[in-house]
A and B are shown apart, each in its own frame.
Chain A
Amino acid sequence: QKEVEQDPGPLSVPEGAIVSLNCTYSNSAFQYFMWYRQYSRKGPELLMYTYSSGNKEDGRFTAQVDKSSKYISLFIRDSQPSDSATYLCAMKKETNAGKSTFGDGTTLTVKP
């Protein structure tokens, strides 16, 4: 069983929709939770970074971590065609010296 499972998608939504992207994990040692965005033919880039449980908001993006359920989510409000990309969740342990464990990614298409 993988340590990190991500809803596989693909996901297709109309412009303006609220999007929810989700990951579950099995290892309670994960303390740092990240979301990366990857456009086609590019490398991933960090979108959101949270430590432990709670919510973090940045513009139209909200990252939510529920450590009791071992569940993280990324919400995108008022989605735009420019949000069309693959979204990867990633997690890191406190003592992991930089190594992150990634989900497989969810490909999102926002249709105008």
Chain B
Amino acid sequence: DVKVTQSSRYLVKRTGEKVFLECVQDMDHENMFWYRQDPGLGLRLIYFSYDVKMKEKGDIPEGYSVSREKKERFSLILESASTNQTSMYLCASSLAASGRVKETQYFGPGTRLLVL
């Protein structure tokens, strides 16, 4: 069974704090993703990594950075947390596949972040 774990289920931080969200997958997947999920706005991609030390901006990268030093670990960093970053953060991973091979994204349980 693929397992994607996230460091915290719930987190409360203050405005201006630096926040680290960690994600670890145990299936040797090349691709890893960070999303945020908000009511009425759905799932939005923040950053994507397709290999160690490689990263690509998603749809809403502003205010975030990422780090992928090891294949199994993908970290999301909020440099200076703001109240509009209060959200549910979801990490996912997938095997790199080409053509019609099914490529499933496996999601972690999510981290609910509240920024006061």
Contact = CB atoms under 8 A, between A and B. Distances in A.
A49 B42 contact: no
A98 B110 contact: no
Q: Tell me the interface secondary structure of chain A in the complex.
A: loop
B12 to A, nearest CB: 17
B96 interface: yes
A103 B85 CA distance: 20
Interface in A18-52: 32, 41-46, 49, 51
A98 B106 CA distance: 12
Contacts, number: 56
A95 B105 CA distance: 16
Given A97-B50, A98-B96, A103-B42, A44 B107 contact: yes
Nearest to A102: B43
